[in-house]
């Protein structure tokens, strides 16, 4: 039994053309938002951050890899299904971005040896970088101390409710986000950050689902790492990262 409205081709075409106008308006609005992002003032990053990479220690400037722009996905932790799905989506774009003067890395507080093993398991080309031991995640609003949680952490540019001490073990210390940086005359500048659903447009899986007949159709936490679905061959079909 079909549980959706059925119509004629003529009815479908009329409604589709009407929807097309709304889609075009959204595209124009997105173009305008992109321009506004690029018009934000740049803020010089004066603090020295140190990261662990698969090739050794690196500064924030060194993460640019000789390019003038750096995009950072704030990865919560290895094994995070949503972080894994998001990284699956942008992993194939890394080579294109790098050829267009943009470096893309995923940064996490997990030690580098664990990140390297997880990257090999996932078969990603994207670099995973450890910020363990630095203030980077805290300064850019994606990691929180117990004290911050109890005082009411600031996430997505807003104050969140304070977490009672008895509930601290139920709250994550890391949340997702995206940050952008520019390198000019040897100085690094913070240019943009977004959090929570601000990164929805970069979660390519959902962009496809939004165009599927039943949309996101979510009734439970269904997302898994790509090698954990029943019958998955993803882990054996991937190419070993460089």
Return the number of other C-beta atoms located less than 10 Å from residue 92's C-beta.
12
* Residue 61, pLDDT score: 98
User: Is the pLDDT score of 241 beyond 80?
Assistant: no
Residue 185 pLDDT grade (very low, low, confident, very high; cuts 50, 70, 90): very high
Give the residue among 187, 218, 192, 219 at the shortest CA–CA distance from 205: 218
Please classify residue 166 by burial: count the beta carbons closer than 10 Å to its beta carbon, then call 0-12 exposed, 13-18 middle and 19+ buried. Answer: exposed
User: Is the pLDDT score of 1 beyond 90?
Assistant: no
* Residue 232, pLDDT score: 64
> Which residues lie below 8 Å from residue 39, measured CB to CB, with a gap of 6+?
none
* Residue 237, pLDDT score: 44
* Residue 200, pLDDT score: 85
29-65 per-position pLDDT tens digit: 999 999 999 999 999 999 999 999 999 999 999 999 9
User: Is the pLDDT score of 235 beyond 80?
Assistant: no
Residue-wise DSSP of 3-16: -S----HHHHHHHH
* Residue 201, pLDDT score: 84
Lowest mean pLDDT among 105-109, 164-168, 220-224, 230-234: 230-234
118-171 per-position pLDDT tens digit: 999 999 999 999 999 999 999 999 999 999 999 999 999 999 999 999 999 999
User: Is the pLDDT score of 238 beyond 80?
Assistant: no
Residue-wise DSSP of 217-236: --SS-----TTSSTT--HHH
Give the residue among 67, 72, 49 at the shortest CA–CA distance from 128: 72
Residue 128 to residue 53: CA distance in whole angstroms:
7
Assessment of whether the complete model's pTM goes beyond 0.75: yes
- Residue 156 tokens, joined: 């997505």
**What domains appear along the chain, each with residue ranges and CATH number?**
41-228 (3.40.30.10)
* Residue 219, pLDDT score: 85
Percent of the chain with pLDDT over 70: 95
């Amino acid at each position: 039994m079909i549980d959706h409205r059925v119509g004629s081709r003529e009815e479908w075409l009329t409604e589709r053309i009407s929807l097309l106008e709304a889609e075009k308006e959204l595209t124009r609005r997105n173009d305008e938002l992109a321009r506004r992002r690029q018009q934000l003032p740049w803020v010089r990053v004066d603090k020295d951050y140190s990261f662990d990479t698969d090739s050794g220690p690196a500064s924030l400037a060194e993460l640019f890899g000789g390019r003038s722009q750096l995009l950072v996905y704030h990865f919560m932790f290895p094994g995070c299904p949503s972080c894994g799905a998001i990284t699956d989506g942008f992993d194939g774009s890394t080579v294109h971005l790098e050829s267009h003067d943009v470096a893309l890395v995923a940064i996490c507080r997990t030690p580098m040896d664990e990140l390297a093993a997880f990257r090999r398991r996932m078969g990603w080309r994207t670099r995973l970088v450890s910020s363990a031991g630095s203030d980077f995640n805290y300064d850019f609003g994606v990691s929180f101390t117990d004290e911050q949680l109890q005082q009411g952490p600031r996430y997505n540019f807003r104050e969140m409710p304070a977490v009672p001490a008895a509930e601290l073990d139920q709250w994550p210390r890391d949340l997702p986000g995206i940050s952008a940086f520019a390198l000019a005359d040897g100085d690094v500048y913070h240019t943009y950050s977004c959090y929570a659903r601000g990164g929805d447009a970069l979660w390519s899986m959902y962009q496809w689902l939004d165009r599927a007949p039943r949309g996101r159709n979510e009734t439970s936490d269904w997302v898994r790492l790509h090698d954990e679905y029943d019958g998955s061959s993803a882990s054996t079909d991937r190419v070993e990262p460089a």
